[in-house]
Structure 1
Amino acid sequence: MNNIISENKIISPINLKNKFSINNSIKNKIINSIKIISNIINGKDKRLLIICGPCSIHDFNSSIDYAKLLYNLSLELNDKLYIVMRAYIEKPRTSIGWKGIVNDPMIDNSCNIEKGLNISRELLIQLIDIGIPISTEILNLNIYKYFDDLFSWVSIGARTSESQIHREFSSSLSIPVGFKNNTNGDILSSINAIKTSLKPHTYLGINDFGNLCIIKTKGNKNNHIILRGSKNKPNYFPEDINNCINLINENNLNSKIIIDCSHDNSYKDYSKQLDVSKAVIDQINNNNNLIGLMIESYIYNGNQLINNKLKYGISITDGCIGWKETKFLLKYLYNNFNR
Structure 2
Amino acid sequence: MTTTAAETTSGTANLRVSQFTALPTPAELEAELPLDAPAAAVVERGRDQVRAVMDGVDDRLLVIAGPCSIHDPAAGLEYARRLAAAAKEHEEDLLVVMRAYFEKPRTTVGWKGLINDPLLDGSHDVATGLRMARKFLLDVAGLGLPAGTEFLEPISPQYTADLVSWGAIGARTAESQIHRQLSSGLSMPVGFKNGTDGDLQVALDACNAASAAQSFLGIDGDGRAALVSTAGNADTHVILRGGRKGPNYSAADVGAAAASAAGAGINPRLIVDASHANSGKSHHRQAEVALEIGAQLEAGGPSAQAIAGVMLESFLVGGAQKLDVGDVAAGTAVLAYGQSVTDACMEWDVTADVLAALAGAARARRTRAA
Q: TM-score range by the shorter chain?
A: over 0.9
User: What are the superposed Cα offsets for residues 265-285 of structure 1, whole Å, 9 maximum, x if unpaired?
Assistant: 001111111111111123234
Distance 1:325 1:104 in 2: 30
Say yes or no: does 1:284 pair with 2:276: no
Say yes or no: does 1:315 pair with 2:328: no
Structure 2 equivalent of residue 133 of structure 1 = 146
Say yes or no: does 1:62 pair with 2:75: yes
Counterpart among 319, 335, 339 of residue 360 in structure 2: 335
Distance 1:46 1:129 in 2: 26
Say yes or no: does 1:266 pair with 2:279: yes
Counterpart among 127, 151, 171 of residue 158 in structure 1: 171
Counterpart among 301, 308, 324 of residue 349 in structure 2: 324
Structure 2 equivalent of residue 303 of structure 1 = 320
Runs of 4+ in 1 over 3 A off after TM superposition: none
Asked if structure 1 preserves the Cα contact closer than 8 Å seen for 2:255 and 2:306, the reply is: no
Structure 1 equivalent of residue 16 of structure 2 = 3
SS at match of 1:219: coil
Distance 1:254 1:312 in 2: 40
Asked if structure 1 preserves the Cα contact closer than 8 Å seen for 2:321 and 2:339, the reply is: yes
- Kindly tell me the number of residue pairs found equivalent between the two proteins: 339
Structure 2 equivalent of residue 168 of structure 1 = 181
User: What are the superposed Cα offsets for residues 35-80 of structure 1, whole Å, 9 maximum, x if unpaired?
Assistant: 0111111111111000000000000211111000000111110000
Moved more, 106-115 or 234-243: 234-243
Say yes or no: does 1:109 pair with 2:109: no
Asked if structure 1 preserves the Cα contact closer than 8 Å seen for 2:297 and 2:361, the reply is: no
Q: CA deviation at 1:24?
A: 0.5
Distance 1:85 1:10 in 2: 27
Query: Unaligned 5+ residue runs, structure 2?
Result: 1-11, 325-332, 366-370
* Structure with max Cα Rg: 2
SS at match of 2:19: coil
SS at match of 1:302: strand
Query: Unaligned 5+ residue runs, structure 1?
Result: none
Asked if structure 2 preserves the Cα contact closer than 8 Å seen for 1:179 and 1:224, the reply is: yes
Percentage identity across aligned positions? 36
Q: CA deviation at 1:336?
A: 2.4
Asked if structure 2 preserves the Cα contact closer than 8 Å seen for 1:172 and 1:217, the reply is: yes
SS at match of 2:47: helix
SS at match of 2:68: coil
SS at match of 2:334: coil
Structure 1 or 2: more helix by fraction? 2
Distance 2:341 2:334 in 1: 12
Structure 1 equivalent of residue 329 of structure 2 = none
User: What are the superposed Cα offsets for residues 91-133 of structure 1, whole Å, 9 maximum, x if unpaired?
Assistant: 1111111000110011010111111111111121111101211
Say yes or no: does 1:235 pair with 2:248: yes
Asked if structure 2 preserves the Cα contact closer than 8 Å seen for 1:223 and 1:255, the reply is: no
Asked if structure 2 preserves the Cα contact closer than 8 Å seen for 1:168 and 1:203, the reply is: yes
Distance 2:268 2:105 in 1: 25
User: Given the two structures, how large is their TM-score scaled by the length of structure 2?
Assistant: 0.90
Structure 1 equivalent of residue 3 of structure 2 = none
